[in-house]
Amino acid sequence: MLAAALAAAGLVLGACGSASVPSPGAAKIDVDTAQLRQLKHDAGVEACKPGGAAAVDGGLPDVTLPCLGGGKDVALSSLRGPLVVNLWASWCAPCRKEMPVLEEFHRRYGDRVDVVGVDFEDPQTLSAMALVQKSGVTYPLLADPQGALVGKAPFPARMGLPLFAFVDADGKVELAAGGVDSVDQLVSLVNDHLGVGL
């Protein structure tokens, strides 16, 4: 009787490994819901602006990301600077601290240096948008909830947040750790990495 029970268990367990059972795919995280669109509108976040340039060696990866809270998708490799790309997440304490600094930089210097945020590996889209509202952020925001940028040059396979990607007029990128405490500190980084005096 025990042998019969073990044989039946073997058949059941064997069926779980069957090629006819599909494996689960990547989770679908919707970054364009009616609620997110409304929150984005209420916060006054600017529309995402796709670029028009071709990919270059040493530039942003050929990855297309959706606009957080709705809007046009953006192929990162098409963006040109001077541009500050900030990777952040709602669960990242230093990100929460520096986002108002980025917004102040955007308000002062956005006519000379663009700012784009990327909500990175952050499945909590409502928490992300709540942080955007609390921080007063209005610069355009993309979403990479499942880490499509991980390991895509120039981004490393292991990334600490916050992280800056400084993109020059030719599309070339330099990375730097984030965590700025003041607009002056960010101005200094922009001068160092982009050669733009503000």
CB atoms within 10 A of CB 107: 14
The CA radius of gyration of the chain, in Å to the nearest whole number, is 21
- Whether 157 shows a pLDDT value over 50: the answer reads yes
Q: pLDDT (tens digit, 9 = 90+) per residue, 106-145?
A: 999 999 999 999 999 999 999 999 999 999 999 999 999 9
The alpha-helical segments, DSSP class H, found in the chain are: 2-16, 34-43, 93-109, 125-135, 183-194
Residue 116 CA to its chain's centroid (Å):
9
CATH class of 49-194: alpha beta
What is the pLDDT of the chain when averaged over all its residues?
Answer: 89
For residue 156 the two structure tokens come to 């490393």
- Domain boundaries defined on the chain: 49-194
CB atoms within 10 A of CB 97: 15
Give percent above pLDDT 90 in the chain.
Answer: 84
Q: pLDDT (tens digit, 9 = 90+) per residue, 72-109?
A: 999 999 999 999 999 999 999 999 999 999 999 999 99
Residue 26 pLDDT class (50, 70, 90 cuts): low
- Whether 10 shows a pLDDT value over 50: the answer reads no
